Amino acid sequence: MKWRDLMCGEVRSEQIGKRITLSGWTDTRRDHGGLVFIDLRDRAGVCQLVINPERAPEAFAATHEIRNEFVLRAEGEVVARAPEAVNPKLPTGEIELQVDSLEIVSRCPPLPFQLDEENVDETLRLRNRWLDLRRDRLQKNIALRAQMVGVIRRVIESAGFLDIQTPILGKPTPEGARDFLVPARLQPGRFYALPQSPQLYKQILMIAGFDRYYQIAVCFRDEDLRADRLQELTQLDVEVAFPDLDGLFSLMERMLEAVWRECLGVELEPPFLRMSWDEAMARYGSDKPDLRFALEIEEASEATRGSEFGVFAKVPCVRFLRVPKEYSRGDLAKLEEFAKEWGAGGLAYIVYGEDGEPRSPILKFLSEPELELFRSEPGSTVLFGAGEPAMVARVLGQLRLKLAGELGLIDEDAWRFLWVTDFPMLEWDEETERWDAVHHPFTRPAVGHEALLESDPGAAKALAYDLVGNGVELGGGSFRIYEPDLQQKVFELLRISPEEQRSKFGFLLDALSMGAPPHGGIAFGIERLLMVLGHEQNLRDTQAFPKNQAGADPMTGAPSNADPKNLRELGIKPIAPPT
Ligand code: ASP
């Protein structure tokens, strides 16, 4: 028996007059004055079936039972639709299948949710993921993901990169998250860590002479889930020996160019803009600036140095945003609340009315040159950030994003990519009172910044970069330390004791000591890329089987309780009974 001659979504007017068989899911079923219409659906689309009781009495009888999501097999003749019934929005909209025989292949109970229903509870969706995945949006996401990964592999492989698999059961790699641990039965009391990234393996592969490595690698990070984080994510992971920054950037640009061209038919325009981290923070208040709109942060620290306005005079940094809207007092109070949530003490402002006149409680303190600098178009508002540069950048950066969204300033059709370079090497952790690596501990300092590691570690820049697209961090990487003594020095700065260095990273130090080439690389988040490429809002819907916010899979019930026998074998005793 033949299931189908074509996919449902593939039938066109060329098939008119032909007899064909189609199989698929019941998308909709409509009764119309004696005729029954069924949209039969598969991955390629839908085809309209017409069941006429005179032509096919048995098939017609069968239609009474059919509900949405029943699987059917239909045989009949492709005919042209009457002119008034043509649906120009559907690729199959010119034809329909006049059914002669219809078979119910599989049944389906009333659905827990309709496929076209919006805002369905996520747990319900994930528990019934087989239904959820039949939705158009998810079918598109998953297919787009496969297409994108295919293009990536082709571009990278044609540049001479080898796909090398690295272990899932490994040792902790510090990427800043908690590790997922796996108990080792054969070595009771010991644990493997699932890779947060293949970072150290890929470095070892360079030391081992493989020169150009890539992998579509699954990575595990036991993080508290936020909207833009996953515990189980996929990276395009890349490493090269004897790296040259321009060469690496241009390969990655070619790859993205090919992805956008082949998946969307959009031409990107490499080379992408490059911007230092300092500049991104100053002008956009973010290390992942969204360049689809202007609304740039402006600098006033110099101009306000001797200000009569006490707040401006005593802080190291004053910057401002000129927003093209005349805000009311009520609006400004709300914006101040928002600014405070991001760490501001308050929100000074000047409103320029339609008459062009400035209004502000701080006006009387401002000098002519200050007023000159802030002067803006009638019908606009200047919002100030004053304080430590990091806080000012954060507050104004967040305001910039929020207001651009509210005022509709974002060009939703634009694609704006840039490289953010020269990240700081270290950041001070107030809680633990020590330096943390901004990227990871294997990143090398920028050329000429080695000495700063001793004299002024906070000022040292790293040879690290991110690729940002439409305000999303798509990828990041760095050139690595290949000198064992420099690596040790950085470990010391991070207060990793010599014993810990040996126990955690002894293999890396040994490998670095045996002829390590200079090397560097990058990793892209496949899910983040897909989110941007597919305009998908929900990071989890870029994966076929994601976990929910609580890190659980409502479909399979993972994580589940372990069999006490397994735990005994592993030498593990839960301290709290499982819930
Ligand atoms: N391992 C890094 C990460 O996962 C990327 C890299 O440095 O290549 O972010």
Edge-first strand order for the sheet with 212-220 is 162-163, 212-220, 232-241, 519-525, 472-479, 464-469, 417-421, 273-276
Instruction: Give Cβ neighbours of residue 539 (< 8 Å, ≥ 6 apart).
Output: 227, 228, 229, 230, 527, 528, 531
- Whole-angstrom Cα distance, residue 304 to residue 325? 24
Q: Could you identify the residue written with the tokens 């270290």?
A: 426
* pLDDT score of 176: 78
Cβ-defined contacts of 451-457 (< 8 Å, 24+): 453/425, 453/489, 453/490, 453/493, 457/425, 457/426, 457/493
| Distance (Å) from CA 528 to ligand 1 centroid | 14
Instruction: Give Cβ neighbours of residue 22 (< 8 Å, ≥ 6 apart).
Output: 4, 5, 6, 8, 11, 40, 47, 49, 73, 74, 75, 97
Secondary structure of residue 186 in the 3-state scheme: coil
Cβ of residue 203 lying under 6 Å from some atom of ligand 1: no
Instruction: Give Cβ neighbours of residue 484 (< 8 Å, ≥ 6 apart).
Output: 509, 512, 513, 516
Nearest to 239 by CA among 268, 270, 208: 208
Which segments of the chain have a pLDDT < 70?
227, 577-579
- Whole-angstrom Cα distance, residue 294 to residue 279? 14
| Distance (Å) from CA 520 to ligand 1 centroid | 10
* pLDDT score of 555: 97
| Distance (Å) from CA 201 to ligand 1 centroid | 12
Secondary structure of residue 110 in the 3-state scheme: coil
Cα distances (Å, whole numbers) of residue 298 to 294, 319, 367: 11, 5, 18
DSSP readout, 463-509? SEEEEEETTEEEEEEEEBP--HHHHHHHHHHTT--HHHHHHHHHHHH
* pLDDT score of 436: 93
Cβ of residue 199 lying under 6 Å from some atom of ligand 1: yes
Q: Using the atom order of ligand 1, give the atom closest to the CA of residue 478.
A: 7
Instruction: Tell me the one-letter amino acid at 490.
Output: V
Helix, strand, coil percentages (3-state) for the chain, rounded to 5, are 30, 25, 40
| Distance (Å) from CA 559 to ligand 1 centroid | 27
Tokens of 162: 């080898």
- Pick the residue whose CA is nearest to atom 8 on ligand 1: 522
Cβ of residue 477 lying under 6 Å from some atom of ligand 1: yes
DSSP H or E segment with residue 47: strand 45-51
| Distance (Å) from CA 442 to ligand 1 centroid | 10
* pLDDT score of 518: 98
Secondary structure of residue 192 in the 3-state scheme: strand
- Is the separation of the CB atoms in 315 and 386 below 8 Å? yes
- Whole-angstrom Cα distance, residue 207 to residue 483? 12
Inter-axis angle of helices 136-158 and 526-533, to 10 degrees? Answer: 120
DSSP readout, 326-386? ---HHHHHHHHHHHHHTT-S---EEEE-TTS-EE-TTGGG--HHHHHHH---SSEEEEEEE
Nearest to 458 by CA among 489, 493, 432: 493
Q: Using the atom order of ligand 1, give the atom closest to the CA of residue 480.
A: 7
Query: Ligand 1, residues 251, 440, 528: which to mutate, most atoms within 8 A of Cβ?
Result: 440
Tokens of 93: 């909209």
* pLDDT score of 105: 98
| Distance (Å) from CA 61 to ligand 1 centroid | 61
| Distance (Å) from CA 419 to ligand 1 centroid | 15
| Distance (Å) from CA 214 to ligand 1 centroid | 12
Cβ of residue 175 lying under 6 Å from some atom of ligand 1: yes
Instruction: Give Cβ neighbours of residue 138 (< 8 Å, ≥ 6 apart).
Output: 132, 541
Cβ of residue 546 lying under 6 Å from some atom of ligand 1: no
* pLDDT score of 369: 94
| Distance (Å) from CA 14 to ligand 1 centroid | 51
Q: Using the atom order of ligand 1, give the atom closest to the CA of residue 442.
A: 7
Cβ of residue 103 lying under 6 Å from some atom of ligand 1: no
- Whole-angstrom Cα distance, residue 467 to residue 475? 5
* pLDDT score of 227: 64
Exposure letters 271-309 (e unless 16+ CB within 10 A, then b) = ebeebebeebbbbbbbbbbbbbbebbbbebbebbeebeb
* pLDDT score of 189: 85
Q: Using the atom order of ligand 1, give the atom closest to the CA of residue 219.
A: 4
Query: Ligand 1, residues 173, 197, 201, 423: which to mutate, most atoms within 8 A of Cβ?
Result: 197
- Pick the residue whose CA is nearest to atom 7 on ligand 1: 477
Cα distances (Å, whole numbers) of residue 41 to 50, 364, 524: 14, 69, 34
* pLDDT score of 309: 95
- Is the separation of the CB atoms in 395 and 344 below 8 Å? yes
| Distance (Å) from CA 306 to ligand 1 centroid | 44
Cβ of residue 204 lying under 6 Å from some atom of ligand 1: no
pLDDT digits (tens, 9 = 90+) for 419-462: 999 999 999 998 989 999 999 999 999 999 999 999 999 999 99
* pLDDT score of 229: 81
Nearest to 246 by CA among 120, 419, 373, 441: 419
DSSP secondary structure letter of residue 67:
-
Number of H helices, E strands in the chain: 16, 22
Cβ of residue 476 lying under 6 Å from some atom of ligand 1: yes
Cβ of residue 397 lying under 6 Å from some atom of ligand 1: no
Exposure letters 422-438 (e unless 16+ CB within 10 A, then b) = bbbbbeeeeeeeebebb
* pLDDT score of 172: 79
Burial group, residue 99, by CB count within 10 angstroms (0-12, 13-18, 19+): buried
* pLDDT score of 576: 75
DSSP H or E segment with residue 275: strand 273-276
Q: Using the atom order of ligand 1, give the atom closest to the CA of residue 520.
A: 8
Q: Using the atom order of ligand 1, give the atom closest to the CA of residue 202.
A: 8
Tokens of 239: 């490493």
- Is the separation of the CB atoms in 456 and 484 below 8 Å? no
| Distance (Å) from CA 277 to ligand 1 centroid | 17
